[in-house]
Every structure is written in structure tokens, then in C-alpha cells.
């Protein structure tokens, strides 16, 4: 493994040396800066064939599996846990995800037949015959399918599918025999959002979809299959069942019922009452690890600014704490066998790329499974620090700031890097996208604006009705904060993001057009009414309705259009780079195409790039390389940071010879050899 890293690092150093020779930062704050070597685009493309990821141990602890690229596709590799030669499970497409079944003899594999469409199909792999062609048990075009494998259900799995009605998921049972077909078990009447099972596979509870008033019911289910209401939940309430031990009428759950912050609780299925086990006064509990028998909590994780782990199990604490050597280190248990003798653990830090370890707790031994290829570039990394600001209405807004290594924190070109969702959050961990931007010479500001999750119900729901309003105020205030702190050059601030972050970018470029020198939008919506009209049929739109209004309500629709960037395209004053995946089912490609078309009609500077074989993200290494080449070239031109020569992928500059913006539509580009 170390030999591979040295070879990979050497190849990247050569690329980086060539890139550095061609890169010339022009911003005054960077001219005398001692910036580290330029990170090669190949590192960002995530196509290294030797990199191993997503390790999973079989429930019986005998076999370990991981993903590794072959001819550009992620494929499953398996070997005995205690060592041996790997065997490749050949799948005709890129593996999206995979999971062991409870019998340790099979795996379920998720593939997307139309790249980016998110209509996953499920394959079954017999681990005893790993070189045989996996069997597709949901070969239903245009359907979305998922897997549930209860811990002790050895002979079958459950499948969720919207085959019958694209709006709702029915529940199927699939026997783990050679020729078995999925059998319809529960037909969704259109009111069920999710089901919960005990380890043996018996349904113990279910959650209904919200009614017109936004109210849901948590229902207790009997062994007979009959379910009855236990308690109601408002749309702002959240209860997520984590697991239950067989025969116990109590389940582990994450809940914010009656509180602002989500806590770990024990939920009584007879009375509906909760007993709080652990809470963080500042933020939500985000992750909990349970014991193999599901009777005990082992640890709970929260993120006030850095990861905070609260251990309930002293033995596990003794195993994991020695791995955390520096402030800000992050530990994550990603897999274990049922006995929890074997643990797959990842460890990273603000300046430490991820290492994946195999812990044999019985023998007290550790083995290194993989090291991120970023380890070879560790000395180039820039540190991310937490901060807060007071928004203009007094709300406290958490954020993270990354300053480029080798540059003084004084009037730097700056990128406001806006997360999607919007109800997710940034964590301030080692983010390769942020490192890419910092390496090019930019200060990077990540804003957990109101509407971000993880900070409690008040912070999230204070964003109701505030798309393009107070949510964007928070981002603008963060940009002004960076200027006031002396970090940002007020004339060289870009705004950049994907999904909601793409929308926020478009809003920033239309609403405060002189605050931002450039904007980069990836899969961002520009027309909110159209976004609501064309949501995937299986999405539950109720939270969207609360935040934006119902698309059938004329007043709500007018309010959405009021903050739609497409309506304000004539206000844009600075250049924009707009990128989209043609198969995106969440935000249709025309959201970017129509906005770019409107900008062109007003004579605004814009580059539009559409990837024909991607959706709401970029999965193919060749496309990722093209994307980062576009971004660095665009930002260097308008902010004055560094850029490497674009890879030999046919990517154009985005402008005609006469300087007019052009469309670089990937439908005219042939896929790279060996990739899906």
C-alpha cells in the first residue's frame, strides 16, 4: 500500500509540477505568497484504481468487502477478514452501494441503469459464487428500489419499490434462494412513509405521511399486522427509530419531541413516552452506535463545531480514544460484525486525510486497510476553523473558514462555498472540494445559514418562507463578515454551490450583483414554481410546501416566482459558470439551461456546461476532472487565483473566438473508455 502511495504521489507530483509551472496567480495578495505545490486535477477526479473505499464486514465476521475501481468502474472485492487474496465480484455497471445480508452468504448491490437518474435497481450476489453474474431482482425500468435486511432474518430480505405506483413504496419480501422473485407483502395505501422492524423482521411500527395540515401519526403495529395510532407528530417534529432488541416493547430513537435539539431517547411502544438518554445542549445528536444485540447504546456523536463523541461503553472507548491524537480528529465506526469483535474504523483530522483501520478487539490488534491518496499531499493542506457571526436580525450563524496555506489572511480572493439541501450542514471536516479551492489561493467560507440542519428545530424552521430572503441574507452577511475581518478582498468574492447552493449562487448574483465578482452554480434551480411542479413523484413534498408554499396556491406561487433567479436574470452584472447533469431527476436540466439562455438574451457573461451521463452529482472520474478544470480556470480568470492546464478531455474555454459565451454540452463528447 505504501509503495502504491509513493507511485501515485510521484505521478501526481509530476502533474503538479507541470501545472505549477503553468499556473500564475494574479491577485495582489497572492503574488508574494508561498503557496504549496498545486494539487493535480487527477487527485480530485477520484479515479485512482488502487484506492479502496466503503469497507464492510460480513455479519458473521468471516469476510470483508470493499469497493475499488477496475477499468473506471467501482467493483466489489472480497477476502477473508483475517487475510488472503481478494476476489472481484464483477458487475456490469458502476456499483453505487452494497450491503451484506444477515446470512453473510449474500450481498445486495445497487446500480443506476441510467447514470444519474436515481432509479436504482437491486442485484443479488451469492458470495459462494462471486464470479457468477449477479441476479437483478428488480428489473423494472423507471422504478426506484431499496433494501432492508433485519439483523436476524437469515433467509430473506425486504425490498421497497414504487413499481406499482411511482408515488408510493410498497413492501416486498424476497427469499434468498436461487430463483426466488419478490413477493408483495404490504401494499402502501398511499399514507405510509416508513416501516420499522425488530431484528427478526416483524413489523413493530410505522410512520404515516403528513396530512394536509402537516400532521403525521406514529403507529404501533401488532404481530397480526394491525397498526394503531400511538402519537401524532407535527411537521417540525422528528422521530427516527434506530433499532430495538427482540421482544422488548421499547426502541432506541433520535427525537426532538418537546425539545429544540434532537436527543437519543428510549421510546416506549406501549405508551408513546420517551426517556431521554443523552443530549447535547448546543446541537442535535447526529449518530448513535448500538450494541450487537441492540440493547445498549455504545456511543453518541454530536457536532457543536468539531466532532464530540460521548461514550457509554468503557471498553469501546478504550479501543477508539487512542486513535484520536489531535484536536479536531474524527473517528467513525463504519462497519462491524454481529459480535463486534471486528470493527472498520476511519480516522481523519483537519489536516489528516482519511485512514481506514481494521480493529481486532479480541486480539487487541489493528491493521491498516487503506490510506487516502490525499495523504501524499498532506503538507499542502489548509486548516479549517469554526467561527460564528451575528446576522443582521441577530440570529447566530455558524460557519467555517479555510485560509490558503502560505498566504497571509489579508484581503484574499474568497469563495463563499454554499452547501445544498438546504436542510443539511457543513461539519468543518477535511473537505477535498474546500482543499482544492484553498490550494488555488482562495479563502473559503462555508455558512450554515438558517435552514441548515443539526442546530436544532429553531435554526432549521426559522427559514420557513425565507428562500432567497433571510437565508441569502445570512450568506451575504457572512461575505461582509469576511471583509470586516480583513480576510476577504471585497472586490474578489465569488459565490459557489450545488443544488440549493446553486440556487443560492444564482440568488446572490441577481439579488446582490455587486457583492460577488463571479458565481458558479452546479445543478441549481432557477425557477422555484417549476421545481415544485416537477419534483420526483416519490418525494414527500410536505417540508417543501411548508418552506415555499404549495404550487397550486396562486399566492404561494407568486411568492416563489418573486425569489426565482430566472425572473431576475437581467440583474446579473458579473460572470457566471453554470453546470448541470442531463439526467438530474431532482432539479431538471432546463433549470440551468433556461437561466443561461436568459442571461445570454440580456448580453450577460455566462458559460453553460451539461454532462450527458450525470445527474444530481458527478460520479465519473473523467467528468469530475472536466468539472474541476472548468472551475479553476473560471475562478482564476475572475478572482486571480491559480489554475492548472485543463486535462486533455476536449473541454473548451466556454467562449467563441469573438468572446461570446458558448455552451459546452457533454452530449457531444464521447465517454471515456472503460467507464459507464
| pLDDT at residue 72, as a whole number | 87
Statement: 52-179 belongs to CATH 3.40.630.30? no
| pLDDT at residue 23, as a whole number | 57
Beta strand pairing call for 121-126 and 87-89: unpaired
- Phi then psi for 452, rounded to 5 degrees? -70, 145
Instruction: Kindly state the average pLDDT of the residues 356-368.
Output: 96
Please work out, in degrees rounded to the nearest 5, the angle formed at the alpha carbon of residue 400 by the alpha carbons of 395 and 406: 145
Query: pLDDT category, 608, cuts 50, 70, 90?
Result: very high
Please work out, in degrees rounded to the nearest 5, the angle formed at the alpha carbon of residue 516 by the alpha carbons of 511 and 522: 80
Task: Say whether pLDDT at 199 is over 90.
Answer: yes
Residue 241 burial class via C-beta count within 10 angstroms: exposed 0-12, middle 13-18, buried 19 and up: buried
| pLDDT at residue 538, as a whole number | 95
Domain 2-45+377-527+566-668, CATH among 3.40.50.1820, 3.40.50.620, 3.40.50.2000, 3.60.10.10:
3.40.50.1820
Measured CA to CA, the distance from residue 230 to residue 220 in angstroms comes to: 6
Task: Say whether pLDDT at 24 is over 90.
Answer: no
| pLDDT at residue 246, as a whole number | 75
430-463 per-position pLDDT tens digit: 999 999 999 999 999 999 999 999 999 999 999 9
Contact 440, 643 (CB under 8 A): yes
More confident residue, 376 or 18: 376
Q: Tell me if the pTM is above 0.85.
A: yes
398-436 per-position pLDDT tens digit: 999 999 999 999 999 999 999 999 999 999 999 999 999
| pLDDT at residue 322, as a whole number | 94
Query: pLDDT category, 1, cuts 50, 70, 90?
Result: low
Which region among 168-177, 243-252, 534-543, 572-581 has the lowest average model confidence (pLDDT)? Answer: 243-252
Measured CA to CA, the distance from residue 244 to residue 252 in angstroms comes to: 6
CA 406 vs CA 31, 36, 350, 615: distances in Å: 11, 7, 16, 37
Mean per-residue pLDDT over the chain, rounded? 91
Place of cell 445543478: 523
98-149 per-position pLDDT tens digit: 999 999 999 999 999 999 999 999 999 999 998 899 999 999 999 999 999 9
Please give the helix or strand (H or E) that residue 4 lies within, else none: helix 2-22
Task: Say whether pLDDT at 3 is over 70.
Answer: no
55-73 per-position pLDDT tens digit: 999 999 999 999 999 988 9
| pLDDT at residue 212, as a whole number | 84
More confident residue, 20 or 198: 198
Query: pLDDT category, 92, cuts 50, 70, 90?
Result: confident
Contact 159, 150 (CB under 8 A): no
223-255 per-position pLDDT tens digit: 888 999 999 999 999 999 999 987 889 999 999
617-641 per-position pLDDT tens digit: 999 999 999 999 999 999 999 999 9
Task: Say whether pLDDT at 532 is over 50.
Answer: yes
DSSP codes joined into one string, 204-259:
EEEEEPP-TTS-EEEEEE-TTS-EEEEEEE-TT--EEEEE--TT-SEEEEEE-TTS
Q: Where are the domains of the chain?
A: 2-45+377-527+566-668, 52-179, 191-303, 313-371
Share of the chain above pLDDT 90, in %: 87
More confident residue, 657 or 440: 440
| pLDDT at residue 675, as a whole number | 28
Which region among 37-46, 303-312, 404-413, 654-663 has the lowest average model confidence (pLDDT)? Answer: 654-663
More confident residue, 325 or 437: 437
Residue 567 DSSP one-character state: G
| pLDDT at residue 20, as a whole number | 38
Give the count of alpha carbons within 13 A of 614, CB side only: 24
| pLDDT at residue 239, as a whole number | 97
Amino acid at each position: 500500500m505504501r509503495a502504491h502511495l509513493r507511485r501515485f504521489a510521484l505521478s501526481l507530483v509530476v502533474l503538479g509540477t507541470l501545472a505549477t509551472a503553468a499556473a500564475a496567480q494574479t491577485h495582489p495578495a497572492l503574488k508574494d505568497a508561498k503557496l504549496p505545490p498545486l494539487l493535480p486535477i487527477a487527485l480530485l477526479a477520484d479515479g485512482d484504481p488502487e484506492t479502496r473505499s466503503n469497507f464492510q464486514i460480513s455479519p458473521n465476521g468471516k469476510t470483508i468487502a470493499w469497493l475499488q475501481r477496475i477499468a473506471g468502474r467501482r467493483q466489489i472485492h472480497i477476502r477473508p477478514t483475517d487475510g488472503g487474496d481478494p476476489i472481484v465480484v464483477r458487475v456490469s455497471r458502476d456499483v453505487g452501494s452494497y450491503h451484506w445480508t444477515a446470512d453473510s452468504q449474500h450481498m445486495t448491490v445497487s446500480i443506476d441503469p441510467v447514470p444519474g437518474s436515481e432509479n436504482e435497481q437491486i442485484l443479488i450476489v451469492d458470495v459462494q459464487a462471486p464470479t457468477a453474474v449477479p441476479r437483478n431482482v428488480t428489473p423494472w425500468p423507471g422504478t426506484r428500489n431499496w433494501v432492508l435486511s433485519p439483523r436476524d432474518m437469515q433467509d430473506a430480505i425486504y425490498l421497497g419499490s414504487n413499481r406499482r405506483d411511482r408515488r408510493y413504496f410498497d413492501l416486498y419480501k424476497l427469499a434468498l434462494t436461487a430463483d426466488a422473485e419478490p413477493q408483495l407483502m404490504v401494499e402502501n395505501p398511499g399514507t405510509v412513509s416508513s416501516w420499522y422492524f425488530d431484528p427478526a423482521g416483524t413489523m413493530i411500527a410505522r410512520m404515516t405521511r403528513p396530512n394536509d395540515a402537516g400532521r403525521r401519526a406514529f403507529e404501533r403495529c401488532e404481530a397480526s399486522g394491525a397498526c394503531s395510532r400511538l402519537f401524532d407528530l407535527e411537521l417540525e417534529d422528528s422521530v427516527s427509530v434506530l433499532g430495538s432488541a427482540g421482544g422488548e416493547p421499547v426502541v432506541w430513537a433520535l427525537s426532538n419531541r418537546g425539545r429544540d435539539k434532537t436527543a437519543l431517547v428510549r421510546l416506549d411502544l406501549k405508551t408513546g413516552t420517551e426517556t431521554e438518554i443523552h443530549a447535547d445542549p448546543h446541537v442535535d445528536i447526529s449518530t448513535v452506535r448500538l450494541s450487537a444485540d441492540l440493547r445498549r447504546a455504545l456511543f453518541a456523536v454530536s457536532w457543536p463545531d468539531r466532532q464530540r463523541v460521548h461514550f457509554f461503553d468503557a471498553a469501546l472507548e478504550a479501543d477508539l480514544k487512542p486513535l484520536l491524537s489531535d484536536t479536531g480528529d474524527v473517528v467513525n465506526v463504519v462497519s462491524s460484525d454481529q459480535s463486534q469483535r471486528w470493527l472498520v474504523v476511519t480516522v481523519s483530522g483537519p489536516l489528516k486525510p482519511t485512514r481506514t483501520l481494521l480493529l481486532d478487539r479480541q486480539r487487541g490488534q489493528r491493521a491498516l486497510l487503506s490510506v487516502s491518496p490525499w495523504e501524499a499531499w498532506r503538507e499542502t493542506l489548509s486548516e479549517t476553523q469554526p467561527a460564528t457571526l451575528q446576522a443582521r436580525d441577530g440570529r447566530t450563524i455558524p460557519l467555517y473558514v479555510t485560509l490558503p496555506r502560505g498566504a497571509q489572511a489579508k484581503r484574499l480572493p474568497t469563495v463563499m462555498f454554499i452547501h445544498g439541501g438546504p436542510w443539511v450542514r457543513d461539519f468543518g471536516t477535511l473537505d477535498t472540494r474546500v482543499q482544492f479551492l484553498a490550494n488555488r489561493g482562495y479563502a473559503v467560507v462555508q455558512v450554515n445559514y438558517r435552514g441548515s440542519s443539526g442546530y436544532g428545530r429553531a435554526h432549521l424552521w426559522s427559514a420557513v418562507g425565507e428562500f432567497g430572503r433571510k437565508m441569502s441574507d445570512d450568506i451575504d452577511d457572512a461575505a461582509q463578515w469576511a471583509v470586516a475581518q480583513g480576510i476577504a478582498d471585497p472586490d474578489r468574492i465569488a459565490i459557489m454551490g450545488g443544488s440549493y447552493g446553486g440556487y443560492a449562487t444564482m440568488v446572490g448574483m441577481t439579488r446582490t450583483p455587486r457583492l460577488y465578482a463571479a458565481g458558479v452554480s452546479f445543478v441549481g434551480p432557477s425557477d422555484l414554481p417549476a421545481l415544485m411542479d416537477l419534483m420526483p413523484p416519490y418525494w414527500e413534498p410536505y417540508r417543501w410546501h411548508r418552506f415555499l408554499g404549495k404550487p397550486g396556491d396562486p399566492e404561494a406561487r407568486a411568492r416563489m416566482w418573486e425569489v426565482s433567479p430566472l425572473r431576475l436574470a437581467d440583474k446579473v452584472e458579473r460572470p457566471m459558470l453554470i453546470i448541470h447533469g442531463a439526467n438530474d431527476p431532482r432539479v431538471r436540466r432546463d433549470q440551468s439551461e433556461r437561466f443561461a439562455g436568459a442571461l445570454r438574451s440580456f448580453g450577460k457573461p455566462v458559460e453553460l456546461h451539461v454532462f450527458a451521463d450525470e445527474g444530481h452529482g458527478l460520479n465519473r472520474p473523467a467528468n469530475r476532472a472536466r468539472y474541476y478544470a472548468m472551475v479553476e480556470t473560471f475562478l482564476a480568470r475572475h478572482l486571480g487565483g491559480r489554475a492548472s492546464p485543463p486535462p486533455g478531455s476536449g473541454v473548451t474555454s466556454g467562449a467563441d473566438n469573438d468572446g461570446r459565451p458558448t455552451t459546452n454540452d457533454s452530449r457531444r463528447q464521447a465517454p471515456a473508455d472503460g467507464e459507464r
